[in-house]
Structure 1
Amino acid sequence: MFTNFNYKIIAFAIVFAVISSGCKSTANQSKKENAVVLQKENFKHYVDYFNTMEEENLKFAIPNDSAWTWMKNNIPLFECPQQNVEEIYYFRWWTARKHIVNTPQGYAITEFLVDRSYADQFNLISCALGHHINEFRWLHDPKYIEQNVHVWFRGNEGKPMKKLRTFSSWTADALYNRYLVNKDDKFLLDIYPDLVSEFAAWEGDRKRKDGLFWQFDVKDGMEESLSGARKFRNARPTINSYMYGNAKALATISKMKGATKQAEYFSAKADTLRNLVETKLWNAKDEFFETYTEKDTLAQVREAIGFIPWYFNLPQKNKGFEKAWEQIKDEKGFSAPFGLTTAERRSPRFRSHGSGTCEWDGAIWPFATAQTLTAMANVLNNYDQKVVDKTDYFKQMELYVQSQYYRGLPYVGEYLDETTGYWLMGDRERSRYYNHSTFNDLLITGLVGLRPRADEKIEVNPLIPQEKWDWFCLDNVLYHGNIITILWDKTGEKYHKGKGFRIFKNGKEIAVSDKLEKLISE
């Protein structure tokens, strides 16, 4: 039993941790960190098992022997009847903390565990920074991602790291999405000038005369693509969607800051980009967003990057753009036995570049899968369409889970063969635990369906077919300073909270339905 003295010690420890981490969020200072339904210790066996799978040859800020302590203090808990989904959920948290490193500037997050010659200081690579922010926003302790962002933008004697813009970026969008989870406006407003400067820098050296942005495919982290090459200056759906998302985010942050003129400025930038993407990158014949080449012609090939506009809800509704999503169900399109390919399978150049040199000509990349599934969840939540449904989403999430095994053990690497599931660099040390995608963010916001928003309503729209699982629970989610619990119990016998679908806030039930359907608390 806790005494008053114990509580004082705990309170002091929390305040000290917040101050020392540089976090200014009042929401986090009053948070409750107790799961409502699930018991943390019931999931420790996953970490014990993962620790036995390897000889830990590389150790950084949080080694294996500290992994469980770190996880139980930081992550939402998840339970479901499909064992591989549950296992990969915990595996991805276990692998994510491997990439946290100590630097003289604070914590940072790597992409590779082994040193890469083209990385910045501290072995940092900016390609997946947006993925890192979206994944790490669900941790209870904000210091890891906040310090990582500060290292990137201010770690070079107060200036950005030299290789911050080596790769295209959707950082402003990701940081605003993080704000929607923790409501830490002080951190967001503090980093705002850095994000504005980054946006201007991209406009300075990547903007075409027509207003579109160009990028080498390798600087999108997607080299050897069917639509481009390492030295082709093409207007790709990637960077143009990223810049749209960043402009929308900066417009909103400007409003938060009270900077009306800047809000109007970035809103206009977003509107212009939306129009350009819809008019110049949409191939009406292929019914798909495609790369617009440096020769001012469409590439005439469908690639997974054509789904990225929906990652940012860019395409306008009711204009027929959703037709593109038919391709994820087409085996001649992107549907393959082990997931979604990076180029359409009907192309005569599909998988034509060989393998082993980071080709994006069709093989499955988790980086792209994560982007496509985030975009697909947006389509299912924000668009009135009948092209794809929950069954399609669940199928692709299952395939994504199934792909994350190698020789019978949980594994995430760089890219894999679409028909065999074989990890193409699975035997290379550089590929192990590749931190280049999201998974847990997809499960939280897509599969379970917690949709972050700026107001205090809690919206949950699970993309799990009604009869797929009889029960599941996502617990210990720190959201707007509160602990959120989401559960489905078809019979009421699993969790003894009653039959149906329920949302709890700090242990108090705030929404309920007898069906697995969208719920919004009042």
Structure 2
Amino acid sequence: MSALLTAVVAAITLVTAAPVYPQPGPGTQVLDQDAKLTGFPERGWFKANIPFVDLPDKQIESVYYYRWRSFYEAQKYTREGWITSEFLGPVGYSAPDGGIVAAAGHHVYEGRWLRDTRYLDDYLRYWMRGSGAGPKPATEFLNKNTTDWAHQYSSWLADAALRRAEVTGDVGFAANLLPELKRHWERWSPQYNTEVGLYWQTPVWDAMEYTASSYQSPDPYHGGDGFRPTLNSYQIADARAIAELARRTGDRATERTYRERAESLTKAQEKWLWDKDKKFYKHVMRDDNPDRVKIADREQIGFVPWMFHTAPPGNAEAWAQLVDPQGFAARFGPTTVERRSPWFMKDAERGCCRWSGPSWPYATSQTLTAMANLLIDYPAQSYVDKADYVALLRGYALTQTKDGKPYVAEAHHPDEPRWLYDGRNHSEDYNHSTYADLVLSGLLGIRPRSDDSVLISPLATWSHFAVENLAYHGRNLSVVWDQDGKHYGRGQGLRVYLDGREVARQADLKPLRVSVPRGAVKPLPRLVDDAANVSGSGFPEASASYSNVGNGDLPAQANDGQNFFLDVPNTRWTSYRSPNPTDWLAVDFGKPTATSDVRLFFYDDAGGVRVPAWYLLQYKRSDGSWTDVPAQTRTPTVGNDLTRITFPTVTTSALRVLGTPQQGSSFGLTAFQSWRG
């Protein structure tokens, strides 16, 4: 091929190649985004996807950006598209390809703020239509009460799908899942008690082992089956969401049916689970409890009804317990059971996982979501205020540290600066809760709506803060608060921008509803990564000329569908300590496969593993020989970032990267991807 023809083909490839990231479009430039992302991998992903914030409390801010990085790490590409993982490494009780439904509602609440909608589109399909909705063994280890993965644990998926639609403006996607959402709701029916009018759940399948209520049963690990404010609130919220989606599609019969079901459950929850004397929602044992006596202890799950607006305004006195030193208050709290309980911190130091007092991010994020709803959506009350919300969020941020850096694991000591449950090569960057959503929808008060508007109702009372270029209804939303006008130089007061243009302002932080005309949403095409193999068995199969086996840097780590740059756990192949002058990593597709868009992520630890001095992308000919892929167009090779190679379509059974390391080092890849439309 002549040099001129090669250049022409390369130019055409650049024009026709699908964009990697969504284009943010016009917006404000109040914040220095590059400075906020110092030290981050693949900064282009974050700049295209996340809302940027500027907060005077740098502890809360640093954890905000860290939690977006950990959410990025949790995206796993599978044979069914993207899912959001809970653990970065595999566990034995997950659904196919690693999904765990326990925190799926949290994942959707958090991920709804991403500009690229493909992640949650795929994830919701996985739980509703994919293998996440498929059959599972009804065993003690995997929950003997249910027969499909989506019901292994309690969840609130219909509600989460609707709340996500309020951010994206695309109610149609959630409405399209309506048949599956109805089926998902109905499949809880075996755990519905007609006498009480509520659902029962085994505490462990609420993702809560060894709770205060569990210790009062014959089975402290699983816990006694009981009527709980968790699953019942989730079912109320999901029924309401289904009714709303049915209303949007004109299905009045379904709307009426599910509104009635939600109302019936709400009345039953109030009748049976609200303790009028102790002013709290509680667990009620199902068995050997004919009078339906509530347990004596207040557990943190008693705040869950406010997370879904299922508690009436008159029950607000429960929130006095959140700030009570004998209730749930703690430096690194809240605690999972009140301190008055005789079960408080029982056996908590014996090992994971005991929800009898430790601070649990899963529950903390539920409580903070519930508290924001109480303060913004409910009538005024005298038990907690905005300052309490900020203090609790700050305590949550202080919890999420380790060795002076942001970090989240499974559970934290409520009174001491240490993680209780933090298993090496297991708990790192544990994705079992929300945080960014709490900053955006609670602290900064970005309250999504299903109509063409947004409510701005901040709980922060600082002198300044900003959220910039938040993807909302196809527009870029920015909110800047500057009490004296000196911090951002845009004038005093609260200012709201759409696509970089100021559309509203006011002098104070009172709630402000702003009209948001729908923008043109242009979702990126769904692509397939033919190189990904989550299971590591069969094809596509990765191999290498040399691997640092002792450190676990195996070839299959480079095409496992995950892409992050941690030392522990690792998900990379390296040639560390290789005696070879050059090394290669290959992916065998197992059959002739068309390829034209390869994305490489070279690992760089600034020490023994660096980006290669040079590399070649090669494909296997039909005769088994290797040759360079012609007419390659490459982006710059940067460690811990995307290197994209586009070229005219080649059909081949295998690709490989052949590289020479820099002097005194080796090279490695955290991800080897081959994408097609």
The TM-score with structure 1 as length reference comes to 0.88
Q: Relative to structure 1, is the Cα distance of residues 159 and 17 closer, same or farther in structure 2, using a 3 angstrom cutoff?
A: farther
Q: Look up the match of 2:200.
A: 214
Pair member with larger Rg: 2
The answer to whether the aligner puts 1:73 opposite 2:31 as a matched pair is: no
1:419 alignment partner AA: D
1:459 alignment partner AA: L
User: What is the rounded CA distance, in whole Å, between the counterparts of 1:303 and 1:157 in structure 2?
Assistant: 30
Q: Look up the match of 1:272.
A: 264
User: What is the rounded CA distance, in whole Å, between the counterparts of 1:9 and 1:399 in structure 2?
Assistant: 50
When structure 1 is superposed on structure 2, of 328-337 and 454-463 the one drifting more is 454-463
Q: Which of these residues, 344, 347, 355, is aligned with residue 350 of structure 1?
A: 344
The answer to whether the aligner puts 1:381 opposite 2:376 as a matched pair is: yes
User: What is the rounded CA distance, in whole Å, between the counterparts of 2:310 and 2:131 in structure 1?
Assistant: 34
Give secondary structure in 2 for the equivalent of 1:424: strand
User: What is the rounded CA distance, in whole Å, between the counterparts of 1:511 and 1:13 in structure 2?
Assistant: 39
The answer to whether the aligner puts 1:110 opposite 2:85 as a matched pair is: yes
Q: Look up the match of 1:25.
A: none
Deviation at 1:13, TM superposition (A): 7.0
1:438 alignment partner AA: T
Deviation at 1:209, TM superposition (A): 3.2
Q: How does 1:394-405 map to 2 (within 5 A)?
A: 394-405=390-401
Give secondary structure in 1 for the equivalent of 2:198: coil
Deviation at 1:435, TM superposition (A): 0.3
Q: How does 1:193-208 map to 2 (within 5 A)?
A: 193-208=179-194
User: What is the rounded CA distance, in whole Å, between the counterparts of 2:60 and 2:306 in structure 1?
Assistant: 25
The answer to whether the aligner puts 1:253 opposite 2:258 as a matched pair is: no
Greater strand percent: which structure? Answer: 2
Q: Look up the match of 1:51.
A: none
Deviation at 1:159, TM superposition (A): 4.9
Q: Look up the match of 1:506.
A: 499
Q: Give structure 1 stretches of 5+ with no counterpart.
A: 1-7, 19-27, 48-64
Q: Look up the match of 1:285.
A: 277
Give secondary structure in 2 for the equivalent of 1:446: helix
User: What is the rounded CA distance, in whole Å, between the counterparts of 1:439 and 1:460 in structure 2?
Assistant: 19
Q: Look up the match of 1:519.
A: 512
Q: Relative to structure 1, is the Cα distance of residues 299 and 37 closer, same or farther in structure 2, using a 3 angstrom cutoff?
A: same
Q: Which of these residues, 372, 375, 385, is aligned with residue 367 of structure 2?
A: 372
Q: Relative to structure 1, is the Cα distance of residues 493 and 314 closer, same or farther in structure 2, using a 3 angstrom cutoff?
A: same
Residues 152, 160 of structure 1: 8 Å contact kept:
no
Give secondary structure in 2 for the equivalent of 1:314: coil
Deviation at 1:206, TM superposition (A): 4.2
Q: Give structure 2 stretches of 5+ with no counterpart.
A: 1-11, 137-147, 215-219, 516-677
Q: Relative to structure 1, is the Cα distance of residues 231 and 349 closer, same or farther in structure 2, using a 3 angstrom cutoff?
A: closer
2:245 alignment partner AA: I
The answer to whether the aligner puts 1:418 opposite 2:414 as a matched pair is: yes
Residues 380, 389 of structure 1: 8 Å contact kept:
yes
Residues 348, 356 of structure 2: 8 Å contact kept:
no
Identity of aligned residues (%): 35
The answer to whether the aligner puts 1:97 opposite 2:83 as a matched pair is: no
The answer to whether the aligner puts 1:300 opposite 2:296 as a matched pair is: yes
Report Cα offsets for 1:301-338 as digits up to 9, x if no partner. Answer: 10110000000111122xx3000000011010000111
The answer to whether the aligner puts 1:390 opposite 2:386 as a matched pair is: yes
Residues 130, 170 of structure 1: 8 Å contact kept:
yes
Deviation at 1:145, TM superposition (A): 1.1
Deviation at 1:10, TM superposition (A): 11
When structure 1 is superposed on structure 2, of 418-427 and 74-83 the one drifting more is 418-427
Q: Relative to structure 1, is the Cα distance of residues 347 and 231 closer, same or farther in structure 2, using a 3 angstrom cutoff?
A: closer
User: What is the rounded CA distance, in whole Å, between the counterparts of 2:406 and 2:472 in structure 1?
Assistant: 29
Deviation at 1:457, TM superposition (A): 2.1
User: What is the rounded CA distance, in whole Å, between the counterparts of 1:315 and 1:255 in structure 2?
Assistant: 23
Greater helix percent: which structure? Answer: 1
Give secondary structure in 2 for the equivalent of 1:122: helix
Q: How does 1:76-225 map to 2 (within 5 A)?
A: 76-156=51-131, 159=134, 162-225=148-211
User: What is the rounded CA distance, in whole Å, between the counterparts of 1:496 and 1:115 in structure 2?
Assistant: 49
Q: Give RMSD over aligned pairs.
A: 2.1
1:370 alignment partner AA: S
User: What is the rounded CA distance, in whole Å, between the counterparts of 1:135 and 1:98 in structure 2?
Assistant: 14
Which structure's relative contact order is higher, taking Cα pairs within 8 Å and 6+ residues apart?
A: 1
Residues 212, 355 of structure 2: 8 Å contact kept:
yes
User: What is the rounded CA distance, in whole Å, between the counterparts of 1:470 and 1:314 in structure 2?
Assistant: 34
User: What is the rounded CA distance, in whole Å, between the counterparts of 1:138 and 1:10 in structure 2?
Assistant: 29
User: What is the rounded CA distance, in whole Å, between the counterparts of 1:349 and 1:157 in structure 2?
Assistant: 35
Q: How does 1:22-37 map to 2 (within 5 A)?
A: 32=25, 34-37=27-30
Residues 480, 495 of structure 2: 8 Å contact kept:
yes
User: What is the rounded CA distance, in whole Å, between the counterparts of 2:127 and 2:245 in structure 1?
Assistant: 20
Q: Relative to structure 1, is the Cα distance of residues 283 and 72 closer, same or farther in structure 2, using a 3 angstrom cutoff?
A: same
Q: Which of these residues, 472, 479, 490, is aligned with residue 486 of structure 1?
A: 479
Deviation at 1:357, TM superposition (A): 2.4
User: What is the rounded CA distance, in whole Å, between the counterparts of 1:43 and 1:387 in structure 2?
Assistant: 36
Q: Look up the match of 2:140.
A: none
Deviation at 1:458, TM superposition (A): 2.0
User: What is the rounded CA distance, in whole Å, between the counterparts of 1:204 and 1:192 in structure 2?
Assistant: 21
User: What is the rounded CA distance, in whole Å, between the counterparts of 1:275 and 1:87 in structure 2?
Assistant: 42
The answer to whether the aligner puts 1:40 opposite 2:52 as a matched pair is: no
2:456 alignment partner AA: V
When structure 1 is superposed on structure 2, of 78-87 and 284-293 the one drifting more is 78-87
Q: Look up the match of 2:145.
A: none
The answer to whether the aligner puts 1:227 opposite 2:220 as a matched pair is: no
Q: Look up the match of 2:354.
A: 359
Q: Look up the match of 1:22.
A: none
Q: Relative to structure 1, is the Cα distance of residues 461 and 13 closer, same or farther in structure 2, using a 3 angstrom cutoff?
A: farther
Deviation at 1:421, TM superposition (A): 2.7
The answer to whether the aligner puts 1:332 opposite 2:307 as a matched pair is: no
Q: Relative to structure 1, is the Cα distance of residues 94 and 35 closer, same or farther in structure 2, using a 3 angstrom cutoff?
A: farther
The answer to whether the aligner puts 1:448 opposite 2:441 as a matched pair is: no
